[in-house]
Amino acid sequence: MIVDCNAYIGHYAFRRLHYNTGDGILQLMDRAGIDRACVSSAGAIMYRNSQAGNEELLEEIEPHRDRLIPFAVLNPTYAAWERDITWCKSVLGAKGLRLYPSYHMYKLSDFCCSEMIEAATELGMMISIPVRAEDSRQRHWLVQAPDVPLNDIAALVAGHPNARFIVLEGLGFRGSDLVRKADELPHNYWIEMSRPDPLFDKELQFVKDALGAERLVFGTGICFKYPEPALLRMKVLQATEDEKADIYAGNMLRLLGE
């Protein structure tokens, strides 16, 4: 079984996405052999009112709840996020949040972010943090949204030991506190593997060996990205079959409480 913890549907403000509907992403998942995917709204990244994106997401996933697992995008600086998070849990059925501090103009260390993480944790939701929505080298000329520093995420996970975090779209783990200071941090964060390569610079292999296979989760970044590179990374990663099964699905299913 393959569970993709890093998937998106909807419109992105700066580039046409294909396969970006509920039906469309299933086509892409079938092509790649992905059974289930954690999806959030791509539109919500740039909407002022992210909740509208979550409402769009509900319409798209409703016929496909057996395969599409909703994650909500919320902005802790925006009005009524407290009400919205309750709706996301009870109506959308969101299993977690996705945070975009660079796009929503706050820092992970801000009090409002801390409040929202505590509220999500109370509701049993995990927190996923995409380090980037897209490669900053192609950013739209109107947008200045730097990648989220991995060390900021390390400080966040240390400050919220009861919360559960997934780091999406990360790279450069070797020099980050998430790996260098892993022994000092609570074991409350998991690394999604779509960007680091197990070959040549062998970063993915390094992360797996440093943190253990139980701390990696499979992700692709569809439909922003092709799924095939992540699948190839898994194929060539040096790990036992049991470890690969955990990365492909087991670890994420445990996080989902299944």
Partner 1 sequence: MFEDVPLIDTHAHVMYSDPDADDSRQRGLDAAYVEAADVLGIDILVVSCPMVRKPTTPEIFRHANSLVIDAMQKWPGRIWLTTYINPGWTREAIAEIQRTAELEDMVAIKLLWDYNCSDPVCFPVIEKAIELDKIIIIHQAHHTNMLFNRRHFDVDAADVVAVANRYPEAKIIADHIGGGGDWEWTIKTLAEAPNVLQEISGSNFDENIVDMQLQYLGADRMVFACDCSMSSSMGKFRALQAGTEDKKKIAGGNFLRLCGRL
User: Interface residues with partner 1 (CB under 8 A)?
Assistant: 15-19, 28, 134-141, 195, 197-202, 222-233, 236
Nearer to partner 1 by Cβ, of 110 and 197: the residue is 197
> Of 187, 121, 178, 183, which is closest to residue 151 (Cα–Cα)?
178
Pick 86 or 136: Cβ nearer partner 1: 136
- Taking the least distance from each CB to partner 1, the nearer of 66 and 141 is 141
Smallest separation (angstroms) from partner 1 to the CB of 251: 21
**How many Å apart are CA 190 and CA 180, to the nearest integer?**
15
Contact by Cβ (8 Å): 57, 9: yes
Residue 69 β-bridge partners? 38
Report the Cα 60 to chain-centroid distance in Å.
19
Bridge-based pairing state of the strands 96-98 and 165-168 = unpaired
- Stated as kind and residue range, the H or E segment containing 244 is helix 241-245
Q: How far is the CB of 197 from partner 1 (least distance, A)?
A: 5
Which C-beta is closer to partner 1: that of 18 or that of 254?
Answer: 18
Q: Which is nearer to partner 1, 76 or 198 (CB)?
A: 198
* Residue listed under structure tokens 């292999």: 205
Cβ-based burial of 247 (10 A; exposed 0-12, middle 13-18, buried ≥19)? buried
Least Å distance, CB 226 to partner 1, is 4
Closest CB 150 distance from partner 1, rounded Å: 17
Residue 85, CB-side half-sphere exposure with 13 Å CA sphere = 26
Q: Residue 8 or residue 165: which is nearer to partner 1 going by CB?
A: 8
Question: Torsions phi, psi of 9, nearest 5?
Answer: -140, 165
Q: Write down the least CB distance from residue 199 to partner 1, Å.
A: 4
* Least Cβ distance, residue 35 to partner 1 (angstroms): 19
